Structure 1
């Protein structure tokens, strides 16, 4: 470096200079989603959360479709064909607004649309994907059951052949978007193994009662799916997959989005704590001038930007076709855990104000308690990594 060269200034919002790794197209995607969230979610989400509702979800879905956020990493059929890094950046910005909004997008694109795109017939893709990409149709993904969460191989939902038709019976639980979905991808036991089915929500015997009294993800639609002799034609089955590898590959794709998304919630809490620390005065000066507060802020920034760097690395591996499921578990386990710790530390900086919905901290902290255990609990991801490290299976 010559004597005349100057280092760029230190940026508290990007202390590691991670933005230097992003292409102009990446930044354009990030800025578009950030602006949409700032206009359409941030001013209202505290009220939605307090009421336990997500009003106007169908309108929000259409707006998300219009900016290319639904199924954005898929190609064709009206999908944006964005890179994995761009999809991750979108998840980060959406979850910085609220985990429920990111969940809406993740379930739509990384679970329901991804399942049809990867395992569906051409007719199924043509029928559903363009309308789902535009937000005209909302989708959901039925895997978890009331008695079987971490052990989907033991699911009780069953599909049996009746002539050329399929007849489905069973229940699914904790299904995001369930009661507003126009289509559900439902996984069921069959004589030949676990299969996926595309189930229109207006099918006879299908219902999706909404789950109430949640204390987390309150600005999100969560439902039970009930299948009572739901009769489907032969072409409702996803033809390209048999077995658990179908739903598990969908979950891996969605977990990748969580790796980024969790850092969005963490960033929102860190920014709230930093702003508060610079303006809140105690003992005659801002609390950000005290050593203990600065130590908290430094530790939060450290884990936040390490997590974003990890997410970026995994995104580049996904774009190169080299991302393994174990690496997704690595990212999900680390980033959600660290995001929760950042939220809790931010709450201490804000003191009593940290529990008020005037600030985003407690809302993000409670939302992340759900993110911690959905799409793979802490223990499941620890065991995935443990098996990868030792070569020994401790699941059973």
Structure 2
């Protein structure tokens, strides 16, 4: 292909194009955030399930460049093929591996479906044959549209983002056209609720822990984390009280079960309730983009805004391996405490009613921040990076 000019494509709230050079620069930026804060004592060998983007990728960056850990990532993203440049998640793992190996760190990527038993077997074989010891950090950060029943391949569970009990009408941003639209989401059926629990709950997390333990590749003192979300009252009907919230409650039940298994040997199973950040998964949640527009605007004024890498480094540095744990009455880590503080939420609640389809404008500072972060997930709108791309320059990069 040689030299090409990349065109950014956004359909609704879905990015359809990538700029690999921008993604490489964003990877360098995330690493710099961690390095600036220095090394801290943590994991030696980390397995990141869902390590191709957002919270999973940020967890891998802080494990490697903050803790000095060897990292294994399972991501699932389309590689480059013919005239398709590949998905952002594929490039994220490529550029992470490049940076980690340049720093003398072990980095192994699996581009595979984490739900499949075959993937578990392949990862276990790699740990047994290539790593110098068992996994002592397991991060579960998977958001997926579907999962095949591991005990019946003919059954496929599909997750949905819907309220429970009654429909919900809210405003959501159309990132392609910079408009605020009114959307109505119908209530989930009982089968949709159950399917979402199977996909987005903790069942597969438990299967991974059991598989790793049975193979003897999980360290006795292993810490394992799954990421949850509470959000503000404004998001409760579609999230906390909806299908995703129901799935997170199931994941928390899995955490309690895993805690019983791991604690006797010195391990730990943790739920981290993370803050609202811009991810490819979160932007399709009805109402989320409008809430973030208000939240980011308030946080910009207060100087408290965090991206995924900022929060994850703080989470692992201070709470998982540090002495500044913030937990709630359920024992969950709460790095979202700043976002949900009364000081922030009172201002957000005042601003939200002012963001309507009638008066919405792209000039809102919070929306500018949100849209810029969304574009950067695909490598666009990155300072110092143009849309001119030399395909051959990146052709030899190894996955």
Structure 2 length-normalised TM: 0.32
Structure 1 length-normalised TM: 0.32
Larger RCO of the pair (alpha carbons < 8 Å, separation 6+): 2
